Amino acid sequence: MDHQSWLATCPKGLELLLANELQQLGASGVKETVAAVHFEGSLELAYRACLWSRLANRILLPLHSFMLNSADDLYQQCNDIAWESHFTAAQSIAIDFIGTSRHIDNTMYGSQRVKDAVVDRIRRIEGERPDVDTKNPDIRIQVRQHKGRVTVSLDISGESLHRRGYRSGQGSAPIKENLAVALLLRAGWPEIASQGGALLDPMCGSGTLIIEGAMMAADIAPGILRGHYGFHYWLQHDQALWDSLVVEAQERKAAGLEKLELDIRGYDANPRVLEFTTQNIENAGLDEHIRLAHKPIDQFGKPTAEHGLLLTNPPYGERLGEIDELIPLYQKLGTVLQKNFNGWKAAIFTGNVDLGRQTDLSPTKQYSLFNGTIPCKLLVFTDMTSKSARIAERLSTPAPAQELTEGARMVLNRLKKNQRRLDSWRKKSNISCYRLYDADIPEYAVAVDIYDQSVYVQEYAPPATISEKVARERFAEVKQAVKEFSANYRGKTHYKERRRQKGDSQYQRATEGASDIIEVTEGRGRFEVNLSDYLDTGLFLDHRPVRAMIGDLVKGKSFLNLFCYTAAASVQAALAGAKSSLSIDMSNTYLDWAGRNFELNSMSASKHELLRADCLKWLEEEGELYDVIFLDPPTFSNSKKMDSVLDIQRDHGDMIRNAMAKLAPNGVLIFSNNFRKFKMDELTLRQFDCQNITPQTLDMDFERNPRIHNVWKITRRSSFG
């Protein structure tokens, strides 16, 4: 077996590290995939990976790969594999079946079919069948199906390679050995060890981090203590080759321990845990090289070594009460690092970044990893100066004036140009809130709105083709331009990012702290806008002409406002002389806001009613008719307050028909939505007189964005058919 394709599996997030490790072992054709790395090499390389890989879980020999067209395919294809060349009926087997498909949707069933295929072939050839042993098999077979393809492999590693053989006891929630190695690599331990630096874990638990760190520094093969591998009962196993690799590893271990003079220490506040740790260290043969002590974190003084790595995996809790109790622990750890570990490197592995912030330190690097199924971060620190100290230093040093970049100057010039173009129009229309800029320069994809003396900047989510780094740089240039432009504005400047809202998230506060609530004018109307707390301000500026149109239609008539939001259209209708109005929304937040808008304009609550209801359900009920109806639903909503999911393209036809049933004779329905790819339902077009009036509903400040909304004027036909 001079050259063969192999697969090494690993925990998610370790693929790049494993690929580098395999290349260092001599692998070729290395290719990463999710939680695994493909590689090519000889049988010796596969043995060496089993013995020396610190990151892999398993080493697999792929035997056959095929597309699964039916459940019977699985049996037949696996029955065709020459299993007799790998083991005999005297050996026990186990099948690990991973993944589901429409043909095999149950892993237990898949495992059973593969087992039947394997034992039937061996029985047919040898007259006897192998036994199945799921716990301690001689031969382990892995079958994985993904996107319709099934890959059958022989597992030559046996049980997972992260089980080194030294762990006999453990504290609570220990990390796996290969994850510990990943943390050590990401934290830079190999380089620190080569320079004679120390390794310290102040909350060492079962000692995995310091044991793995010592094994790396001493050039000890991680698999040297294991008594059994999956290839030991394999018919193609080369015992002489394996023995030579073990002898080489033993010689390297002896030489490495002889040279190991690093200061490696573990501490823990729980003396009972340290009993397990002591046993684990002795099992690894490192009791002369690792020191242990019982010491709480707040008793740490200055280390004896001048430089090194402090690496630890503190608890991070799962329930709120536990998290609250852990805050002082992280604060003490931060204090210890700031006070005593200047010149050291530190790394904290945690599943709760908020707890990590309690150290009052800023990480120079962060790595995303998984501890089992828990997403975690490795926070690496090279500067032990506290955040608060750095902030104080920055505040005491005046920031130098920053010259505008070329991009920032382009944006600033466009803001000034648009301001001059809109000035006379907005003053004539008595408008104090308007859109000044809407991605006029496509590379700077933001909207800039003016609300009286305040500036409101919305950053559009960048397309997938734009890297996060470039998007951040461009937004920084926008901020430069806006800061320069708004120098004469007395209000605040707010920055928001637009994202598609799900469920009730549109009603929830986007920021904490003091609210920035102001009043603005639009024609005769006065409105409350909130620039700080939500992703929307309470006034859709693009609907200004629609509100004016409604005002022209409603004098002396009844008005129905569905999905009314903060009822700005109802206020303008009332100011224009509507005899009555009903505004419906399912959000108490918005209805309370609507009430305040009516109060601002001295409108009578007896004539202008606010109702909390699901508009879709309300439309299905019997009730009075209205002369003018404004129907402005969201593009999509899966709010828990609604009985069903709303999709405007799918649902608008039924919604319009239900709204038309509420329309008085000779009445008018104004239908609006913000779906850019909207297409009017064919049945609705045949049933009613539908006019797309979108071009008439765009004021000067939205002329550059004609797809900001769709507006239709809908009336009954004089005759149908």
Task: Encode pLDDT of 191-236 as tens digits.
Answer: 999 999 999 999 999 999 999 999 999 999 999 999 899 999 999 9
Rounded to the nearest angstrom, the gap between the alpha carbon of residue 146 and the centroid of all alpha carbons in its chain is 23
- What whole-number distance in Å separates Cα of residue 543 and Cα of residue 545? 6
- What whole-number distance in Å separates Cα of residue 522 and Cα of residue 597? 12
Higher-pLDDT residue of 86, 171: 86
Angle at which helix 544-553 crosses helix 568-575, to 10 degrees, equals 40
Quick check: helix, strand or coil at residue 294?
strand
pLDDT at 323: 77
Given a cut of 80, whether residue 127 has pLDDT beyond it is yes
Place domain 406-499 in its CATH homologous superfamily: RNA methyltransferase domain (HRMD) like (3.30.750.80)
Higher-pLDDT residue of 514, 314: 314
Fold agreement (177-222+257-393, 524-716): yes
CATH of span 4-155? 3.30.2130.30
Return the C-alpha torsion angle 13, 19, 25, 30, nearest 10. 150
Given a cut of 50, whether residue 338 has pLDDT beyond it is yes
pLDDT at 720: 44
DSSP 503: G
Distances (CA, A) of 10 to 166, 209, 658: 20, 18, 57
Given a cut of 60, whether residue 501 has pLDDT beyond it is no
Average pLDDT over every residue of 497-521: 59
pLDDT at 227: 87
Contacts for 314 with CB less than 8 Å, ≥ 6 apart: 203, 326, 329, 330, 333, 348, 350, 355
Rounded to the nearest angstrom, the gap between the alpha carbon of residue 417 and the centroid of all alpha carbons in its chain is 39
Angle, CA of 298, 340 and 337, to the nearest 5° = 65
Contacts for 144 with CB less than 8 Å, ≥ 6 apart: 97, 98, 99, 150, 151, 153
Quick check: helix, strand or coil at residue 473?
helix
Domain extents in the chain: 4-155, 177-222+257-393, 406-499, 524-716
Distances (CA, A) of 606 to 26, 391, 394: 84, 55, 57
- What whole-number distance in Å separates Cα of residue 476 and Cα of residue 407? 10
Lowest mean pLDDT among 360-374, 376-390, 622-636: 376-390
pLDDT band at 391 (very low <50, low <70, confident <90, very high): low
Contacts for 19 with CB less than 8 Å, ≥ 6 apart: 30, 31, 32, 37, 39
Given a cut of 80, whether residue 497 has pLDDT beyond it is no
pTM: 0.58
Place domain 524-716 in its CATH homologous superfamily: Vaccinia Virus protein VP39 (3.40.50.150)
Place domain 177-222+257-393 in its CATH homologous superfamily: Vaccinia Virus protein VP39 (3.40.50.150)
pLDDT at 169: 62
The model's pLDDT over 26-60, given as tens digits with 9 standing for 90+, comes to: 999 999 998 999 999 999 999 999 999 999 999 99
